[in-house]
Amino acid sequence: MQSNIQQYLLVWLLCLLLPATVAAVDNDNYRIGSGDSLSITVFGEEDMSLKEVKVGTNGNISFPLLGEIAAEGQTVRSLEQEVERRLKDGYLKKPVVTVSVLEYRFFYVNGEVENPGGYNYVDGLTVQKAVALAGGFTERASKRKIILQHENADSESQRVGLDIEVNPGDIITVGESFF
């Protein structure tokens, strides 16, 4: 009886931890962009830590003593390494830096939705959820004419379905139905 309870608790604990692990892996590949809000902690150096810093339109953040640091296009880990490298250069012997994304930049929905505009990105966002955040489809909207443009300048616009994942900075355009 006791081993069954232990097995049940173990499975339950794994179910709780698995989504957090998956989300952490996705965040490792996330590229920081203009408009993201970050938290930068320097272990043991509260005066050097930033509770919240927004990535500017130039893609940089301003850091005490270090000045401007290019953040746009970097992963969380690469930005941590850059701050650590700069702090080692005359400020601290062995800095330990943690960077967290507090708030992602907007994604945008336009076209045949009730409230077109920019919205805060949340993990697990799909086109359908994005349209719901924008107030839903108008009467003239076509669910088959939805175009997604990723923020990356190299990507092309593509026609997508409602279950496609949306990323920060993406632009969704809902076309008009003629019937």
Domain ranges of the chain: 37-103, 106-176
Amino acid at 27: N
**Surface-to-core class of residue 36, CB atoms within 10 Å of its CB (0-12 exposed, 13-18 middle, 19+ buried):** buried
pLDDT on residue 8? 43
Listed in sequence order, the DSSP H helices in 30-95 are 76-88
Among candidates 3, 66, 76, which has minimal Cα distance to 37? Answer: 76
Q: Does domain 106-176 have CATH number 3.40.50.300?
A: no
Supply the pTM of this predicted model: 0.74
Q: In a 3-state reduction of DSSP, which class is residue 10? A: helix
37-103 homologous superfamily: wza like domain (3.30.1950.10)
Mean pLDDT for the stretch of residues 111-116: 97
pLDDT tens digit sequence for 44-96: 999 999 999 999 999 999 998 899 999 999 999 999 999 999 999 989 999 99
pLDDT on residue 168? 94
Of 11-25, 43-57, 68-82, 165-179, which range is least confident?
Answer: 11-25
